[in-house]
Structure 1
């Protein structure tokens, strides 16, 4: 299981005006939800909150009915965030970035080797496995971040603008892999400003100026 529910929630940073308010959505295993909107609409804020990195000011976020209490709790429940800025360690190779993440979340060294090889191959990056992150192009770095996220085999996969630097072929590759995550039973939330990518998802949650404008309440 991995049903993710946001109930009438508002989010903000510090004491400032809420970035998002009145957000309500449920995403179930096997679904791919697109979160859409222009830059600054609140897509990344919502995914950060879903990942346990930002507590709601009101309302709540829960996984299978249990309120999410923070990032460590989210990780323990199998919530994986693939961030927009990729979050890769520049001093490590592509393969090392993935292996370290697998081991840190409880995988054995053998698991790490196998999952690293499989995920890099799935993203067309087998030839870049031993290259440092700084030696990779922006698109290759983005695909490495996706490979790391997929290697973690999350129950809930949150992908934040993970196709923004990719050409059409690699964008489709990533969309197919996110769909495959849903097919194995994961709950997938994909933030994107790309209408074609959003159209490939099961449902869409559209944000405008910090509120949900589609589907309408």
Structure 2
């Protein structure tokens, strides 16, 4: 199953009258990777949270396959997966437990959850750390655990927020290859990043600055539009 994601003239505010994103539009295609770039504070995480249904736009809409997202629960039911910048892991659980509990909550049987957890941790090179508490893992290992959890969910839309920031060069390359594999299976992948090399590995790039958006690189053979004021 493949999905497209469209952000249509979205404005997001945390404080009334002080927009973090202003009139942003972009279309992200199934089977492709879209980079969202820009300096710290430009609104990258805010845009991904809006794409994930976590934040409700003041104006505009986010739609998956032509149907607007109502909220985060609606997004989850439509297989929109968010890998957050802060990883969102429970430190008192093991790496394996952090993945399994989310899979079971999303309808996996315990057996399928165990199998998918083992596979995803192996993909990110953490098989040996599966039984370790998250609080015992390094920052990079915690980040890879969060990535493994996101990959195991096999989302139709995969939103990854600065997920290579704690990784060394070898693991960054591995993670970008895994994101490409997700796109190759038909997922719509959006990567928020300040890493120019990670952005260059994507098929298109949307640059944010002061809440406004500019499409600096379009998909080679898929329609994408972006605008900002």
- Which residue matches 2:19? 18
- Which residue matches 2:222? none
- Secondary structure class of the residue paired with 1:13: strand
How many residue pairs end up in the alignment?
Answer: 217
Q: Distance in 2 between matches of 1:213 and 1:155?
A: 25
- Which residue matches 1:147? 148
- Which residue matches 1:123? 124
- Which residue matches 2:221? none
- Which residue matches 1:193? 194
Q: Distance in 1 between matches of 2:120 and 2:172?
A: 16
> Any idea what the Cα deviations from partners look like across 1:36-72, whole Å, max 9, x if unmatched?
0010000000000000000111111100011100000
> Any idea what the Cα deviations from partners look like across 1:111-153, whole Å, max 9, x if unmatched?
1011000000000000000000000000000000000000011
Q: Distance in 1 between matches of 2:15 and 2:56?
A: 11
Q: Distance in 2 between matches of 1:146 and 1:24?
A: 27
Q: Distance in 1 between matches of 2:109 and 2:3?
A: 23
Q: Distance in 1 between matches of 2:72 and 2:129?
A: 30
CA apart distance, 1:12: 1.1
Q: Normalising by the residue count of structure 2, what TM-score does the alignment of the two structures yield?
A: 0.93
Q: Distance in 2 between matches of 1:154 and 1:179?
A: 13
Quote the RMSD (CA, aligned, Å). Answer: 0.9
CA apart distance, 1:110: 1.1
Please show how residues 20-99 of structure 1 align to structure 2 within 5 Å.
Answer: 20-99=21-100
CA apart distance, 1:16: 4.5
- Which residue matches 1:212? 213
Q: Distance in 1 between matches of 2:78 and 2:29?
A: 14
Structure 2: gaps of 5 or more residues: 217-225
> Any idea what the Cα deviations from partners look like across 1:171-215, whole Å, max 9, x if unmatched?
000000000000111000000000010000000000011101333
- Which residue matches 2:139? 138
- Secondary structure class of the residue paired with 2:186: coil
Q: Distance in 2 between matches of 1:15 and 1:139?
A: 36
Structure 1: gaps of 5 or more residues: none
CA apart distance, 1:22: 1.6
